[in-house]
Structure 1
Amino acid sequence: MPGGSIYVQPNEKYTGNSPQWWYEKFWREEAPSRRRSRYIKAAVGVVIGVALAIRLDLTGAAPFIGLLLGVLVAGGDWYLDWRAFHATAVWRGAKRGEVITAKLLRRSLGKEGYNVLDGRAIRDQASIDHLVIGPAGVWIVDNESWSPDTEIACYTGRLFFGEKYGSKQAKALVGAAEAFAELLTRETGIPVTISPMLAVHCGDMPKGGILVAEGLTLLKPRLAAKVIKAAEGRVYTDEQIELLTRTAARALQKV
């Protein structure tokens, strides 16, 4: 294939057939329209600022206040557009979800007595992106991303990604949690129960950014550490945390 490689198979995410490619194409093509809209909003902001200044008997400062409000409106509009595009980075393949989540977990949990192991697996059985071990328990955290318009919801107890059932993915992560818990319990003699979590980097999540369905907690990556720290009670001593961490590092395959 011209320009390609016989060793590396092409990834649809980076070709003209993928939703990601079309998303970026439309985003670039709509840039002039977004700029025109921003100019209009800024102009309205200037008018409102001037009118507000006059109403408050600040006529001399009216041009400055109007200009300031116009700049703030334009800056805010630009930020919202940038944020919307930036939120799709993992889905578009521009960033790696596991790298983002690993940084967030370590930054928030490192000083709270939690250890985070990345990329662990039980050979021929299960693999996960992050294993979190700390005072309040043990969690596994995986990463996933869907298109921005994919509604992630729970209906009558079942998980849905758009119009598709999410049971298969939920079952896989719940099964991975059980397999990891069984291994750690067997190797350490410490009873271990693991809670599975899925960090959703792109997709239409419910208000609040957290959804619990079919034994799985789905949430925005920034909320993972918050949920873990909110867990009540102390389950493990410092010695047990150290033993569980050392055992996981030894017994689990690094991926």
Structure 2
Amino acid sequence: MSDVGTGASSDNGNDTPPIWGGGDQSPGPSRRPEPKGPLAHVPIGRVSAQSLLSDPRYRHLRRRVILALAVGIVVWLLLQSWRVGVTAAIIAAIADAIQQARMDSSIPAWRRASSAERRTEHQLRRLERKGYRTLHARAIPNSDAQIDHLVIGPTGVYAVDSEKWDRRLPVRAQGHRKLFHGPFNKKDRLNEARWEAQQASELISRELGREITVIPSLAIYGPPVPWRTLTIRDVDVFSGGFVRKWITKRERSLTPDEIDAIYRAAERVLPPRYPVDPAPSSRTVGNMSR
């Protein structure tokens, strides 16, 4: 995974009335509640547009405003028409909003450091109309591992791990046993992907009471991959842009009812990777070597 659902938090309300110290039972003068969160440093009643744009939550709005202003000024200087400049600025802001919406992800915010996961997720969305269902960023219980994308559809069940590698280093293989990225042997990464798929297969099979095979894969972004699909250490390896074709090229083996049953079982046994740790440690999956 590159660099897997979102968790919901709840407020624990306390209905117990406050106990005031001393003999005086009156609560005294009311106090305005203190602000919390990113805007805690901003005085109440003085929240300005500038303070909002400086909030990290509104970083995309700041970028959009700067982009629109830049486009508007350039067009105005070139065409000497403020109306055309304003129109161009509005169009630029709309285009940026559309692009941002297309990049939105169901993966939690602290996991979105991986552009590879976002790109794979965007591709998999196009499979929904063909009857495929996908779970993103699902944890393997009792480990730090996760499956980036679990895909269930007419052609089977797939575990897709997305990787973004340095494009300057070549990808090469030695037979069906070794994968290299430049001088780096990716044996551990392949073992991890295979182990994750095996765990998902066992958990889902136990939940449904029948055997479910989960096919492991590694989708690589960055350097060119000199093959379409190559199975290395039982893991299908391919270029990230090939993920949809890799899934749909197989024969149909599952009915809509089976897809729905497997999807619901996977939801139960593979919990979402909740954003409780903003800097998750490297995955520990035990002894995965063959």
Measured against the shorter chain, the TM-score band is 0.5 to 0.7
Name the structure 2 match of 1:249.
267
Equivalent residues, number: 160
Letter in 1 for 2:132: Y
CA gap 1:144/1:95 in 2 versus in 1, 3 angstroms:
closer
- Partner of 2:203, secondary structure, is helix
**What is the rounded CA distance, in whole Å, between the counterparts of 2:235 and 2:155 in structure 1?**
18
Name the structure 2 match of 1:141.
160
**What is the rounded CA distance, in whole Å, between the counterparts of 2:141 and 2:242 in structure 1?**
30
**Counterpart contact for 1:198–1:216, Cα < 8 Å:** yes
**Counterpart contact for 2:115–2:164, Cα < 8 Å:** no
**Counterpart contact for 2:149–2:159, Cα < 8 Å:** yes
CA shift for structure 1 position 103: 1.0
CA shift for structure 1 position 95: 6.4
Structure 1 residues 207-254: Cα deviation after superposition (integer angstroms, max 9, x where no partner): x4543311112222221111110012x322211111110111122110
**What is the rounded CA distance, in whole Å, between the counterparts of 1:104 and 1:156 in structure 2?**
29
Letter in 2 for 1:103: H
4+ residue segments displaced more than 3 Å: 208-211
**What is the rounded CA distance, in whole Å, between the counterparts of 1:181 and 1:94 in structure 2?**
28
Does 1 or 2 have the higher relative contact order (CA < 8 Å, sep 6+)? 2
Match of 2:116 among 83, 89, 97: 97
Match of 1:129 among 130, 148, 159: 148
Letter in 2 for 1:198: L
CA gap 1:218/1:112 in 2 versus in 1, 3 angstroms:
same
- TM-score with structure 2 length normalisation? 0.52
**What is the rounded CA distance, in whole Å, between the counterparts of 1:221 and 1:156 in structure 2?**
21
Q: How does 1:45-84 map to 2 (within 5 A)?
A: none
Deviates more, 1:155-164 or 1:180-189: 155-164
Tell me, yes or no, if structure 1 residue 221 matches structure 2 residue 221.
no
**Counterpart contact for 1:150–1:204, Cα < 8 Å:** no
Q: How does 1:234-245 map to 2 (within 5 A)?
A: 234-245=252-263
Tell me, yes or no, if structure 1 residue 115 matches structure 2 residue 115.
no
**What is the rounded CA distance, in whole Å, between the counterparts of 2:261 and 2:254 in structure 1?**
10
- Partner of 1:253, secondary structure, is coil
Unaligned ranges ≥5, structure 1: 1-92
Unaligned ranges ≥5, structure 2: 1-111, 274-290
CA shift for structure 1 position 122: 1.7
CA shift for structure 1 position 201: 1.2
CA shift for structure 1 position 175: 0.7
CA gap 1:253/1:94 in 2 versus in 1, 3 angstroms:
closer
CA gap 1:165/1:95 in 2 versus in 1, 3 angstroms:
closer
Tell me, yes or no, if structure 1 residue 194 matches structure 2 residue 225.
no
- Partner of 1:97, secondary structure, is helix
**Counterpart contact for 2:131–2:154, Cα < 8 Å:** yes
- Partner of 1:222, secondary structure, is helix
